[in-house]
Structure 1
Amino acid sequence: MSRAERHRQLMEHAWRLIREEGTDALTLARLGEVAGVTKPLVYDHFETRTGLLASLYRKYDLRQISLMDEALQAGTPDLLSRATVIAAAYVGCVLEQGREISGVIAALAGSPELEALRWECEAIFMERCRIALSPFAGERPLSTAGLRAMLGAAEALSCAAARGEISAAEAEEELSGMIVAVVSRRGSDVR
């Protein structure tokens, strides 16, 4: 098995381990057991549990950004369409990954290195949203506060959908409406 194939296999086993046993059960030694490989081989790929969690989050984040970018390029260039694309990409990626992403996100808050990674990924996502939505915000640029509000709503609604509290359609509809409201408010603000 090539290094890339082994890495992909270990990542798949890590997601399954989180899904079945929870994030706390995810250690490099346990991952080696589940994957049927030696502990040194797992350490060769990730070095630390923090490195493994970072790899899982990066893979998730890259997928989310990729889905959103592809859909924005293919979509209609109007505010509601862009808001709908952003909402569907965010909610869809969380649901595709399942409830285990919330455990990884919670673990990211546990160390300064992982917290920095999360903030970096959030900044990239917010900047993509700023670029996609700015043409509809009027003369005033979208604020970081507004983008943070969108991101917070996206996380909360996606997690609620992943837990089955609300449907994916409800999460997407509420999020797209919230995005439209934030952007529209910026365009109609009086100085």
Structure 2
Amino acid sequence: MQKDTDNSTPPAATRRLAKADRKRQLLDTALLIVREEGADRLTLGHLAVRAGVSKPVVYDHFATRSALLIELYKWIDTERVDAFRDAMAKTTLGLEETALILADAYIQCAANHTDEFHAVGAALAGSEEKSAVFQELLDNCVQMFVTVLKPQAAPTVSAAELEIRCIGLIGAGEALSGALVRGRHDKDQMIASFASLIRGALR
């Protein structure tokens, strides 16, 4: 277990924020630490220093480093899933374009092991909490797929059936991304194949 050895003193004057706003500020700062210094540097003490708050303020939101990592892991994923869903809701695209954009976004994101999401996930490796959190994030992704693909689905595809098919699509996307990471196939080929699977699932 990594010890909190950062004894730097934060600035004396810290602006008071509502609890939700403070948590958002701490998560924003934690993300910056991972991006600029790496996940290993993300400790509760170092977060307090970078955020300009006292350690008790950080401990009030995150009891342990693992709790912080889990919250950050969930937050990063939720933010990008919501952003993609909102962006797609503002456009009126046909099935071909929707499937290709969704496939491209999913494969690119899942296969990018250099981003903050994967860095935080790697820091959580081996923890009992990670599997439960990962399942929660997969469920969120399924609901995003349902929202984006519902307007494109054939009238004969019920809401319950669409959700089941989206669960299958997420599984396929994970497998394709894994194969891409292992260097088995070309990225464009993987995206095209996943888009084809998406289109087929809606008919």
Q: TM-score, normalised by structure 1?
A: 0.70
Separation in 1, partners of 2:147, 2:28: 33
Say if 2:195 is the partner of 1:180.
yes
Separation in 2, partners of 1:143, 1:17: 34
Separation in 2, partners of 1:76, 1:38: 48
The alpha carbon displacement at 1:12 in A equals 2.3
Say if 2:39 is the partner of 1:16.
no
Which residue identity lines up with residue 173 of structure 2 in the other structure? M
The alpha carbon displacement at 1:176 in A equals 4.4
The answer to whether the 8 Å contact 1:153/1:175 transfers is yes
Of the structure 1 ranges 22-31 and 142-151, higher mean CA displacement relative to structure 2 is found in: 142-151
Q: Computing the radius of gyration over CA atoms, which structure comes out larger, 1 or 2?
A: 2
**Number of aligned residue pairs:** 176
The answer to whether the 8 Å contact 2:70/2:130 transfers is yes
Give SS of 1:114's match.
Answer: helix
The answer to whether the 8 Å contact 2:73/2:120 transfers is yes
The alpha carbon displacement at 1:152 in A equals 4.5
Match of 2:115 among 75, 81, 99: 99
Uncovered stretches (5+) of structure 1, i.e. residues with no partner: 161-169
State the percentage of identical aligned residues. Answer: 32
| Structure 2 match to 1:167 | none
Structure 2 CA distance for partners of 1:80 and 1:108, relative to 1, 3 Å: farther
Structure 2 CA distance for partners of 1:9 and 1:185, relative to 1, 3 Å: closer
| Structure 2 match to 1:166 | none
Q: Which structure: greater helix fraction?
A: 1
Uncovered stretches (5+) of structure 2, i.e. residues with no partner: 1-14
CA-to-aligned-CA distance 1:66-102 (integer Å, 9 cap, x gap): 12222332233532222234246547878xxx72221
Say if 2:67 is the partner of 1:51.
yes
Say if 2:96 is the partner of 1:80.
yes
Q: TM-score, normalised by structure 2?
A: 0.66
Match of 1:114 among 126, 130, 135: 130
| Structure 2 match to 1:67 | 83
The answer to whether the 8 Å contact 1:28/1:43 transfers is yes
CA-atom RMSD, angstroms? 3.6
The answer to whether the 8 Å contact 2:29/2:47 transfers is yes
Separation in 2, partners of 1:118, 1:54: 10
| Structure 2 match to 1:147 | 170
Separation in 2, partners of 1:6, 1:156: 40
Give SS of 1:129's match.
Answer: helix
Separation in 1, partners of 2:27, 2:49: 13
Separation in 2, partners of 1:79, 1:40: 51
Structure 2 CA distance for partners of 1:34 and 1:82, relative to 1, 3 Å: same
Give SS of 1:86's match.
Answer: helix
Separation in 1, partners of 2:61, 2:179: 32
